[in-house]
Structure 1
Amino acid sequence: MFFAEARVRVFIYGQPVDARKSYDGLYALARNEMKQDPLSGHLFCFINRRANQVKVLYWDRSGPPGCSG
């Protein structure tokens, strides 16, 4: 996947999250806690409590928002 660097921003959630959250849960965090639009094409990063896993929420405009982790 190609991202134009001038257009994509990376948002990092400042608190640890439960790594078992689905993309719906991460979508809600991005929308309600971060006050950002998860359908904007930007990347939203979430780190678990032990800081050994990262989940990235993104939307590539081909369906519902997805997770990479």
Structure 2
Amino acid sequence: MPELKHAFADNLRVRRAKKHWSQQQLAEASGVGVDAIGKYERCDCSPTLESIVKLSTALDCTPNDLCTFPEFK
């Protein structure tokens, strides 16, 4: 089973791509820094719960949608 931060990175990237947003556009919509979004997508660090909520709100999904392992979707 992949690590949660890898699942989060994949889910974040896919949801952002579905909106046709750049990392900068997601940063502006969510209030999460563009550098942080890049780090999350590269699995350089894990997001805080506050960042997960902000990102999910901007992406019109639930925090759970961003944290779900692919085999459980």
> Computing the radius of gyration over CA atoms, which structure comes out larger, 1 or 2?
1
Same fold (TM over 0.5): no
Greater share of helix? 2
Greater share of strand? 1
TM-score, with structure 1 as normaliser: 0.32
TM-score, with structure 2 as normaliser: 0.31
Higher RCO (C-alpha 8 Å, min separation 6): 2
